[in-house]
Amino acid sequence: MTKTTKKTFPVLQMGCAACAARVEATVRKQEGVVSASVNFATANLVVEYDAAATNPEKMREAVQNAGYDLLIDDDNDEHPFGGTGGIHQKAFKRLQIKTIGAIFLSVPVVIIGMFFMHIPFANYIMWVLSTPVVFYFGKDFFVNAWKQARHRATNMDTLVALSTGIAYSFSLFNTLFPEFWLERGIAPHVYFEASSVIISFILLGRLLEEKAKGKTSLALKKLMGLQPNTVTVVRNAQYEDVLLKKVKINDVILVKPGEKIAVDGCVAEGSSYVDESMLSGEPVPVLKQANDKVFAGTINQKSSFLFRAEKVGATTLLAQIIRMVQEAEGSKAPVQKLVDKIAGVFVPVVMGIAVLSFVAWMVFGGSDGFTHGLLALVTVLIIACPCALGLATPTAVMVGIGKGAENGILIRDAESLETAKKINAIVLDKTGTITEGKPIVTDVFGLAHDIEKQALLSLEKQSEHPLAEAIVRYLEASAVESRTITVESITGKGVKGTIDGQLYFAGNEKLLTENGITPDDPLLAEARQFSRQSKTVVWLANAQKSLAVVAIADRMKETSRTAVNQLQSAGIEVYMLTGDNEATAREIALQAGISHYQAEVLPQQKAEFVKTLQSGGKTVAVAGDGINDSAALAQADLSIAMGRGSDIAMDVAQMTIISSDLTKIAEAIHLSRQTVKTIRQNLFWAFIYNLIGIPIAAGILYPFTGFLLNPMIAGAAMAMSSVSVVTNSLRLYKKV
Contact 673, 411 (CB under 8 A): no
What distance separates the 2 farthest-apart alpha carbons in the chain?
119
CA angle 445/451/452 to nearest 5° reads 30
What does the CA dihedral 657, 658, 663, 664 come to, rounded to 10 degrees? -60
**235 - beta bridge partners?**
238
C-alpha to C-alpha distance for 596 and 585, rounded to whole angstroms:
11
Three-state helix/strand/coil letters over 507-519:
ECHHHHHHCCCCC
73 assigned to active site: no
Region of 466 on the Ramachandran plot (φ > 0 left; ψ -120 to 50 alpha; else beta)? alpha
Residue 545 carries which DSSP code?
S
Of 319, 291, 317, nearest to 305 by C-alpha is 291
Residue 240's contacts (CB-CB under 8 Å, 6 or more residues apart) are: 232, 233, 234
Region of 653 on the Ramachandran plot (φ > 0 left; ψ -120 to 50 alpha; else beta)? beta
Contact 623, 428 (CB under 8 A): yes
**243 - beta bridge partners?**
230
H/E segment holding residue 484: none
C-alpha to C-alpha distance for 29 and 11, rounded to whole angstroms:
17
SS3 of 235, please? strand
Based on its alpha-carbon atoms, the radius of gyration of the chain, rounded to whole angstroms, reads: 33
Region of 32 on the Ramachandran plot (φ > 0 left; ψ -120 to 50 alpha; else beta)? left
H/E segment holding residue 719: helix 711-730
Annotated catalytic residue, options 275, 429, 625, 629: 429
C-alpha to C-alpha distance for 554 and 727, rounded to whole angstroms:
47
Contact 623, 650 (CB under 8 A): no
Task: Quote the strand ranges of 276-345, DSSP E.
Answer: 286-288, 293-294, 299-300, 305-311
What does the CA dihedral 294, 300, 305, 306 come to, rounded to 10 degrees? 40
C-alpha to C-alpha distance for 666 and 689, rounded to whole angstroms:
35
Positions annotated as catalytic residues are 429
